């Protein structure tokens, strides 16, 4: 199989970086990007998307029943490669999260179109409501396409801070909640053979390794629980420490144990890194003069290996019982979210590695801790992601950034990955 498509131009990032800047200008304030899904600024981002695609490609944008926006470049075969990401952002978000993958996708279409009819069909997608910033349900559009969204059950009751019901916000955008499941049928008709996504890392791992681009091994599984310690609320002055049943201290000991569990189960490489986080603590009754009688503490465990994730969960449960016992409390667990790890496709990982090496010299591998639309796609077809270094390693803030030299390498590697995948699908692969 040829390594590169002869008719295709050398991959460049120039137009992608131009598009990113233009879109940021049009959809941000001094506090950052404001492209919250289903709202006016998000629609403005989509207007920019439609204008750009019409101007540069002469192709229509089709919105499916879940609100995902699709651009199709027909090929000699209807078998297809799908790529994309999301234009929506959190309020006060950055200039790259999501939009990098969409703008790089536009460039992939431009590059293939300029070389004539591609051997297989190419679909670019802008997934609807990846962030879940307004209603709390992330990956809405991609889940609908993957057939894993139960819209009436999961979405019908959701209300935003201003009291606007999600079904009404959807209707404002021409989407009927009762028909969102039809997005799955739309997706099935695309004859998609592979899904590719370029995204910023959103964390500090590549920056710490001094690597501009990374190959993403998969999305980590998540086990999220609320852990409730029950003791007895008593007067702080009147009750000697040995006689207390301090629910907060039990939770505090538990939090420290979870940190140790996270460290103990982490391997030396990014691939084997796991995380454990206690992000919410609610202490009752919450007076300076009261010993806590009830403390709820959240636990979020993540790992790429399902077995490791299971062991972390067991170790945490054991630690919670020990912390409860030491503080003469009881403990009770309530599950909040359970997502299995989604390892990416080995063939696509090899293509990705090749492409990243070509432009960045080496191809470090890492899992994704955050979820992405690619996690939904990985459940139904071969999938892979490319990460561009985040520097500083933060996201969901206007401070989110990637140096242009690194962006350039990540975009060119992604374009090569698309090209390589197209050739593989054309040759009957997958």
Which residues sit at the interface with Zn ion, rule CB under 5 A?
A: 97-98
Report in angstroms how near the CB of residue 93 gets to Zn ion at its nearest.
9
Give the residue nearest to Zn ion (CB).
Answer: 98
- CB closer to Zn ion, 93 vs 212: 93
CA distance 327 to 426: 64
- CB closer to Zn ion, 305 vs 400: 400
Report in angstroms how near the CB of residue 98 gets to Zn ion at its nearest.
4
CA distance 374 to 325: 42
Of residues 76, 51, 69, 71, the one with CA closest to residue 123: 71
Report in angstroms how near the CB of residue 253 gets to Zn ion at its nearest.
35
- CB closer to Zn ion, 119 vs 393: 393
Report in angstroms how near the CB of residue 352 gets to Zn ion at its nearest.
18
Report in angstroms how near the CB of residue 423 gets to Zn ion at its nearest.
28
Of residues 277, 301, 271, the one with CA closest to residue 209: 271
For residue 399, count other CB atoms closer than 10 A to its CB.
11
Residue 63: C-alpha distances to residues 277, 355, 388 (Å): 38, 31, 28
- CB closer to Zn ion, 98 vs 141: 98
Report in angstroms how near the CB of residue 198 gets to Zn ion at its nearest.
11
- CB closer to Zn ion, 396 vs 416: 396
CA distance 92 to 395: 10
For residue 340, count other CB atoms closer than 10 A to its CB.
14
The residue with tokens 């969204």 is 149
Report in angstroms how near the CB of residue 97 gets to Zn ion at its nearest.
4
- CB closer to Zn ion, 138 vs 327: 138
Structure tokens that stand for 344 in this block = 């990416």
Report in angstroms how near the CB of residue 395 gets to Zn ion at its nearest.
8
Distance of CA 107 to the CA centre of its chain: 22
- CB closer to Zn ion, 201 vs 300: 201
CB 177 within 8 A of CB 170: yes
Running DSSP on this structure, what letter comes out for residue 35?
Answer: -
Report in angstroms how near the CB of residue 139 gets to Zn ion at its nearest.
10
Report in angstroms how near the CB of residue 81 gets to Zn ion at its nearest.
20
Query: CA gyration radius for the chain?
Result: 23
- CB closer to Zn ion, 28 vs 121: 28
For residue 343, count other CB atoms closer than 10 A to its CB.
18
- CB closer to Zn ion, 74 vs 370: 370
CA distance 294 to 335: 18
CA distance 120 to 65: 25
- CB closer to Zn ion, 214 vs 231: 214
Residue 17 burial (CB < 10 Å; 0-12/13-18/19+)? middle
Q: Give 123's contacts (C-beta < 8 A, 6+ positions apart).
A: 70, 71, 72, 73, 80, 81, 82, 83, 84, 190, 192
CB 79 within 8 A of CB 120: yes
């Amino acid at each position: 199989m040829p390594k590169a498509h002869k008719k295709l131009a050398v991959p460049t990032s120039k137009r992608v970086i131009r598009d990113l800047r233009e879109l940021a200008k049009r959809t941000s304030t001094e506090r950052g990007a404001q492209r919250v899904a289903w709202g006016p600024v998000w629609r403005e981002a989509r207007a920019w998307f439609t204008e750009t695609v019409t101007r540069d490609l002469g192709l229509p944008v089709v919105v499916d029943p879940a609100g995902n926006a699709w651009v199709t470049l027909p090929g000699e075969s209807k078998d297809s490669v799908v790529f994309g990401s999301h234009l929506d952002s959190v309020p006060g978000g950055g200039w790259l999260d999501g939009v990098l993958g969409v703008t790089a996708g536009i460039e992939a279409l431009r590059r293939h179109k300029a070389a004539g009819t591609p051997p297989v069909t190419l679909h670019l997608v802008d997934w609807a409501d990846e962030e879940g910033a307004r209603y709390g349900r992330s990956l809405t559009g991609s889940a609908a396409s993957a057939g894993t969204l139960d819209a009436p059950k999961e979405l019908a009751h959701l209300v935003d801070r201003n009291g606007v019901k999600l079904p009404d916000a959807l209707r404002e955008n021409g989407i009927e909640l009762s028909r969102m499941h039809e997005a799955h049928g739309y997706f099935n008709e695309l004859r998609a053979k592979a899904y590719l996504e370029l995204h910023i890392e959103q964390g500090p791992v590549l920056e710490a390794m001094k690597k501009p681009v990374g190959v993403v091994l998969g999305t980590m599984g998540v086990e999220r629980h609320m852990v409730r310690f029950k003791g007895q609320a008593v007067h702080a002055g009147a009750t000697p420490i040995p006689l207390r049943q301090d629910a907060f201290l039990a939770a505090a000991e538990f939090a420290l144990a979870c940190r140790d569990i996270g460290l103990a189960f982490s391997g030396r490489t990014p691939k084997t890194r796991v995380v454990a986080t206690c992000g919410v603590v609610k202490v009752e009754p919450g007076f300076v003069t009261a010993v806590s009688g009830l403390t709820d503490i959240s636990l979020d465990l993540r790992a790429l290996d399902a077995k490791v994730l299971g062991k972390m969960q067991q170790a945490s449960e054991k630690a919670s019982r020990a912390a409860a016992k030491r503080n003469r409390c009881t403990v009770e667990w309530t599950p909040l979210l359970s997502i299995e790890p989604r390892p990416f496709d080995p063939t696509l990982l090899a293509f990705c590695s090749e492409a990243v090496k070509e432009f960045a010299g080496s191809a470090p591998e890492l899992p994704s801790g955050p979820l992405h639309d690619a996690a939904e796609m990985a459940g139904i077809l071969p999938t892979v992601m490319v990460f561009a270094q985040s520097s500083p390693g933060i996201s969901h803030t206007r401070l989110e950034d990637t140096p242009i030299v690194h962006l350039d390498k990540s975009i060119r590697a992604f374009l090569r990955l698309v090209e390589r995948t197209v050739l593989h699908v054309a040759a009957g692969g997958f």
